[in-house]
Structure 1
């Protein structure tokens, strides 16, 4: 099976539980990958045979230590490339995901090391996701999803999901991006950096994470 296919599975499993605690089941993984459940089930069996995931029939899927190390290596490449494109080539944060999906499978380790050094060994990508170290380690502060924050909670924006480029553009236009201080004032309303209350698109509260 192609290495890129294995990497995409491992990366998706890692992503799913990175910012929330719900387990990944084969049906969930199939939905995330846009594949038939039967195809995913067969692939998970192959990954388990390689010692990359742990899985029992009808149960959740989890990465083994070997699977986690391989997943974080791919994610490190992806997030360093995203950061490189934003800083060095003036890409917007809503433009980099698809480019990085292609480049993460093609650039050499030597070039990746040069990119990391040139950028000053960044710890977070443009969306606030942690860039794993070469050993797979990550740094992440305690967090709360905006949708689950209590009214009046104030926190710094740690991360904005890159799943919806249009939502990223809308949030940036309203001043809500990584590093700004946000106070939850209603179900879909916030203050940014102590300014007036602004309304957010309904999807925004499930795409923004704040310091807890």
Structure 2
């Protein structure tokens, strides 16, 4: 089932367990994709028949080894394109997601390989998400979600979720970006570059630090 719709499902399942361990439920998958639960149930059955996911009625959905490889391939395309747009075309990190959603289905494997080589085979995209290599493998450091980090915890920003462009802009305005060193002061405040910074709403659930 080589289709953009199927790829979107696999990508959403992959994303869900990338930064935490609980498998995704059909209702969560429906919410992420903005679809009716009945539509998601039907597609999950088709993906299971293709050997791409495992699922039992009312249970969570998980990728099989084949599904993991295919999802990693789509993720690789998306994140390489985002990195390409930022480095080569001057896009800001809050502008690339939607463009990459369109281009990931249009670029040939040959062009993608050329982009990867030109960029020096980057390991991470502009948001800090790991770019799978050609085999689907990723390299990721131990991490902690900002909201789960205790006061006094100091770490480098590993990743910022790209789901909310407004939040990305708010973080940049506060000098918080991938690679910045932060110290957690409280649930609402971090210390960056020697200055206490009040976090924008939602930052605690959207920023990951080195453990």
Q: TM-score, normalised by structure 1?
A: 0.98
**What does residue range 42-121 of structure 1 map to in structure 2 within 5 Å?**
42-121=42-121
Shift of 1:21: 1.8
Equivalent position SS for 1:139: coil
| Deviation >3 Å, runs of 4+ | none
- The 1-side partners of 2:141 and 2:8 are apart by 26
Equivalent position SS for 2:74: helix
**What does residue range 51-200 of structure 1 map to in structure 2 within 5 Å?**
51-193=51-193, 195-200=194-199
- The 2-side partners of 1:163 and 1:21 are apart by 19
- The 2-side partners of 1:20 and 1:171 are apart by 22
- CA deviations on 1:67-102 (whole Å, 9 max, x unpaired) are 000000000000000000000000000000000000
- The 1-side partners of 2:32 and 2:144 are apart by 22
- CA deviations on 1:106-143 (whole Å, 9 max, x unpaired) are 00000000000000000000000000000000000000
Match of 1:209 in 2: 208
- The 2-side partners of 1:151 and 1:137 are apart by 33
Unmatched tracts of structure 2, length 5 or more = none
The RMSD of aligned alpha carbons is 0.8
- The 2-side partners of 1:22 and 1:192 are apart by 31
- The 1-side partners of 2:25 and 2:63 are apart by 12
Aligned residues: 211
- CA deviations on 1:127-183 (whole Å, 9 max, x unpaired) are 000000000000000000000000000000000000000110110111110001000
Q: TM-score, normalised by structure 2?
A: 0.98
Relative distance call for 1:69 and 1:2 in structure 2 (3 A) is closer
- The 2-side partners of 1:2 and 1:142 are apart by 33
Shift of 1:2: 6.1
Shift of 1:202: 2.3
- CA deviations on 1:36-89 (whole Å, 9 max, x unpaired) are 000000100000000000001111100000000000000000000000000000
Equivalent position SS for 2:190: strand
Shift of 1:22: 2.2
